[in-house]
A and B are shown apart, each in its own frame.
Chain A
Amino acid sequence: MEGHLLVSKECLAEYKDSEISYFIAPGIACGFPSPATDSLEVRLSITDFFTSNPTATFFGRAIGSSLEGIGIFENDILVIDRSLRPVNNDIIVMAYEGGFTAKKVLKEGNQVFLISENSNYPPVEVADPDNLIVWGVVSKIIKDPRSAVKNRYGHIRKVI
């Protein structure tokens, strides 16, 4: 196994470009080689779950409580994929009063409704569905379960 490098592919993929040679362990000549070397694959990364089309993907942060009915809470990160065409029950992002809002979209026959699932904001029927301007479709919602804890105590609680 002369010259064989013990290094994960991920490590290589990440540092190959910047040529930081000392992240790569020198070849080890003795001992029995790992039986897994031929089966190594790139470790999963968080991005494997989120972006199918990075060119058309944008991010947004939810503020306030008006979106809680559709499952979006303050400080959630919305992954917005503009390459998707909205289908029934999608959450879409649209321009609203100079900023952005998110609504669940529902089609019944020829009628299209924007739904907040919030008693303060009743469903709105879209007057001209063909010209409804959709900024993007929410493809994922990233939640930080600790963000609420952080807000309440001002810091992350000690590990129990």
Chain B
Amino acid sequence: MIVHADCDAFYVSSERVFNPSLIGKPVVILSNGDHTVVALSKEAKALGIKRGDNIKRIMALYGHHGLKALSSNYTLYGDMSSRVMEVFGQYTPDMEFYSIDEAFANLYRHKYVDLDSYVMDAKNRILQYTGIPVSVGIGQTKALAKTATKYAKKETPNGFYRIKDNEDRIRLLKWLPVGDVWGIGGKYEAKLLAMGIETAYDFSMMPGEKVNELMTIVGYRLWCELNGHQKIDFEYEVPNKKGIGSAKGFGIKVTEQIELQEAMEVYLSRCCDKLRAQNLACKHLFIFLHTNPFATDEPQYYKGIEVELSVATYHTHILKEEANRLLKKIYRKGFNYKRIGVFLSHLVPLGAIQSNLFDNPNTERNAKLTAVLDAMNNRYGRDKLRFASMGYKHDWKARAEKLSLHFTTDKDDIIVIK
């Protein structure tokens, strides 16, 4: 049996653990730069607010309902996510971390346990240990388990549902609109609706070949899963990424190269942290910058540039030199820049770095420098030891004016008890 667990309004729930005044109130979490809604509580949903709504507009409309808006605090959400997953992982080793707030578990080993009480116990323990409420569904396949979770969230008082038999499966599929099926959205939804396919059940009754033809093998796998045949594999290990990137919009108009360089180096430094955390090195570096395409009255500029390194590297200081060289080539004076981004690709495991004939004589020195950099920052906090060219003031940073504290990762930010 497959279990699917999904945190309820995860970002809002994380905030509520440390700020009880948000409990029971409509709460929205804002995108980078505090522009639009990325997550919301069920109270905010009930007001009619949706993801993607503009904050200024909804504040004008619903501010008097006591609507609270917060900047997204990914440091907090990331830590709370690990805690939830750790507790869930105490129940089975066969887990897939599907996203920051969702996981699958394969309980094929648990033949002789009462699944319902086992899973309810996990759900209650997650709530007690972390304060995060989760909804749980059980089904024959991943797609059915996900359907059961959806049903649990909307139709059950305790946020738990197990698909009991075939009749029950059909009942749930008839309940689920086709656009809400895992992976069906946008253009496929419109196509299916045009064909008279309205529910997940209708979809599951289509001939398999037709689904394959219409939606490729991905749609066909989903179709099989809804019919009770496991076709979507578990990804127990997080697959190695193809690339690591970081690109964020600025909070102000940036015109100078020095500011672009600061932002680029900060993003690059984050990428390099991730690279090294996964014991990878990269052979390809891409940077891009652009103006604000929505400011139609301003001159527009977009440029990307890439370089293939002779030897794969994971050193911040080497990639930084390369990135600065690239930036110098594409920077033009006289534009209001909106964003700069960095992307590292052609990732290789550390052990597989091919050095060339004219290997850098500084290899050992570089390794020591980076090791010290990481050791210092692991112990004293991110960027405590850093390159001065990354700057300090960071006026270009996107607004995050309503950011809550790093309650679980910063000594100075822990909750206050009176």
Contact B371 A19 (CB under 8 A): yes
Which of B57-65, B204-212, B395-403, B409-417 lines the interface with chain A? B409-417
Name the CB-closest residue of B to A77.
B414
Query: B286 contacts the other chain (Cβ, under 8 Å)?
Result: no
Which of B128-136, B162-170, B258-266, B292-300 lines the interface with chain A? B128-136
Contact B129 A22 (CB under 8 A): no
What separation, in Å, do the CA atoms of A60 and B408 have in the docked complex?
10
Chain B residues positioned under 8 Å from A77 (CB to CB): 414
0 or 1 for each of B116-145: is its CB under 8 Å from A? (1 = yes): 000000000000111100000000000000
Residue from B86, B371, B408, B416 within 8 A of A63 (CB atoms): B416
Which of A24-32, A93-101, A152-160 lines the interface with chain B? A93-101
What separation, in Å, do the CA atoms of A15 and B379 have in the docked complex?
11
Chain A residues positioned under 8 Å from B309 (CB to CB): none
What separation, in Å, do the CA atoms of A66 and B416 have in the docked complex?
13
Contact B417 A82 (CB under 8 A): no
Contact A60 B368 (CB under 8 A): no
How many A-B pairs have beta carbons closer than 8 Å: the answer is: 78
Contact A61 B375 (CB under 8 A): no
Query: B363 contacts the other chain (Cβ, under 8 Å)?
Result: no
Name the CB-closest residue of A to B23.
A95
What separation, in Å, do the CA atoms of A64 and B416 have in the docked complex?
10
Query: B186 contacts the other chain (Cβ, under 8 Å)?
Result: no
Residue from B130, B367, B414 within 8 A of A59 (CB atoms): B414
Query: A18 contacts the other chain (Cβ, under 8 Å)?
Result: yes
Query: A110 contacts the other chain (Cβ, under 8 Å)?
Result: no
Chain B residues positioned under 8 Å from A96 (CB to CB): 20, 418
Residue from A58, A101, A135 within 8 A of B418 (CB atoms): A101
Contact A99 B21 (CB under 8 A): yes
0 or 1 for each of B10-31: is its CB under 8 Å from A? (1 = yes): 0000000001110100000000
Contact B20 A66 (CB under 8 A): no
Contact B368 A20 (CB under 8 A): yes
Chain B residues positioned under 8 Å from A20 (CB to CB): 368, 371-372, 375
Query: B83 contacts the other chain (Cβ, under 8 Å)?
Result: yes
Q: How many interface residues does chain B have, given as a range?
A: 20 to 34
Contact B414 A61 (CB under 8 A): yes
Chain B residues positioned under 8 Å from A114 (CB to CB): none
Contact B417 A93 (CB under 8 A): yes
Contact A100 B20 (CB under 8 A): yes
Contact B415 A55 (CB under 8 A): no
Query: A78 contacts the other chain (Cβ, under 8 Å)?
Result: yes
Contact B129 A56 (CB under 8 A): yes
Chain B residues positioned under 8 Å from A105 (CB to CB): none
What separation, in Å, do the CA atoms of A150 and B158 have in the docked complex?
51
Query: B96 contacts the other chain (Cβ, under 8 Å)?
Result: no
Query: A102 contacts the other chain (Cβ, under 8 Å)?
Result: yes
What separation, in Å, do the CA atoms of A62 and B131 have in the docked complex?
21
Contact A82 B131 (CB under 8 A): yes
Question: Given A18-B378, A20-B371, A55-B87, does the pair A99, B418 have CB atoms closer than 8 Å?
Answer: yes
A96: min CB distance to chain B, Å = 8
Contact A78 B417 (CB under 8 A): yes
Question: Given A63-B418, A95-B20, A99-B418, does the pair A83, B128 have CB atoms closer than 8 Å?
Answer: yes
What separation, in Å, do the CA atoms of A20 and B368 have in the docked complex?
7
What separation, in Å, do the CA atoms of A13 and B407 have in the docked complex?
28
What separation, in Å, do the CA atoms of A60 and B378 have in the docked complex?
22
Residue from B20, B371, B414 within 8 A of A18 (CB atoms): B371
Chain B residues positioned under 8 Å from A18 (CB to CB): 371, 374-375, 378
Chain A residues positioned under 8 Å from B368 (CB to CB): 20, 22
Within 8 A of A (CB), among B339-376: 367-368, 371-372, 374-375
A72: min CB distance to chain B, Å = 8
A91: min CB distance to chain B, Å = 10
B12: min CB distance to chain A, Å = 16
Name the CB-closest residue of A to B86.
A55
Chain A residues positioned under 8 Å from B415 (CB to CB): 58-61, 100
Chain A residues positioned under 8 Å from B129 (CB to CB): 53, 55-56, 82-83
A51: min CB distance to chain B, Å = 13
Query: A115 contacts the other chain (Cβ, under 8 Å)?
Result: no
Chain B residues positioned under 8 Å from A93 (CB to CB): 417
Within 8 A of B (CB), among A18-47: 18-20, 22
A133: min CB distance to chain B, Å = 9
Identify 23 residue pairs between A and B in the complex whose beta-carbon atoms are under 8 Å apart, listed by A's number: A20-B375, A55-B130, A56-B83, A56-B130, A58-B414, A59-B414, A60-B415, A60-B416, A61-B414, A61-B415, A62-B417, A63-B418, A64-B418, A77-B414, A78-B417, A82-B131, A83-B128, A95-B23, A98-B19, A99-B21, A100-B20, A100-B415, A100-B416
Name the 3 nearest CB pairs between A and B, nearest first: A98-B21, A95-B20, A56-B129
Interface residues of B (CB under 8 A from A): 19-21, 23, 83, 86-87, 128-131, 367-368, 371-372, 374-375, 378, 407-408, 414-418
Interface residues of A (CB under 8 A from B): 15, 18-20, 22, 53, 55-56, 58-64, 66-67, 72, 77-78, 82-83, 93, 95-96, 98-102, 135
Known: A56-B130, A78-B417, A102-B417. 19 other contacts (CB 8 A): A18-B378, A20-B368, A20-B371, A56-B83, A56-B128, A56-B129, A58-B407, A58-B415, A61-B415, A61-B416, A61-B417, A62-B418, A67-B417, A83-B128, A95-B23, A98-B21, A99-B418, A100-B20, A135-B20
